[in-house]
Amino acid sequence: MSHTLKIRIYYEDTDCGGVVYYANYLRYVERARTEFLESKGVSLRALMDEGVYFVVAEAALKYFSPGRYGDIMAIETTVGRVGPASIVFRHTISRDLSGEKLVEATVKLGCVGQDMKPLRLRKNVMDAVTAAEL
């Protein structure tokens, strides 16, 4: 199962040449993960209110082609692997109209409490993401 989020590239997202600044892709995949989880019924706000947080433990990006000012990008999000206290997400960012691949990203999230120590994934989170696992 996958989820797709479309994002328009604004001037603020780019460098002086109109190319998306490389670090902004991390922001885009963060939004895509949030939308993915919310679409599966996982409320990050409710988890935060209970003292459960997700932190980025690892992130790897591979760049293929630059996004540019005015582009609409499609970010496809899937679940790669689920551990007792972690989730690995895979993201493919493409130019929406042409389908040209721009970036692939893999991000591992760890589940932690307020003390930043690992916590087991809640049952509702585990159920939602394992149903979507590749």
Ordered per-residue pLDDT tens for the chain, 134 residues: 899 999 999 999 999 999 999 999 999 999 999 999 999 999 999 999 999 999 999 999 999 999 999 999 999 999 999 999 999 999 999 999 899 999 999 999 999 999 999 999 999 999 999 886 65
Beta bridge partners of 6: 74
Residue whose entry in the numeric block shows the structure tokens 């935060």: 48
Q: What is the CATH number of the domain that holds 113?
A: 3.10.129.10
Residues 13, 15, 115, 127: which is the catalytic one? 15
What is the number of domains present in the chain? 1
Among 91, 76, 71, which Cα is nearest to 14's? 71
Q: Which domain holds residue 52?
A: 3-132
Active-site annotation holds for 15 = yes
Q: How many whole angstroms separate alpha carbon 99 and alpha carbon 106?
A: 19
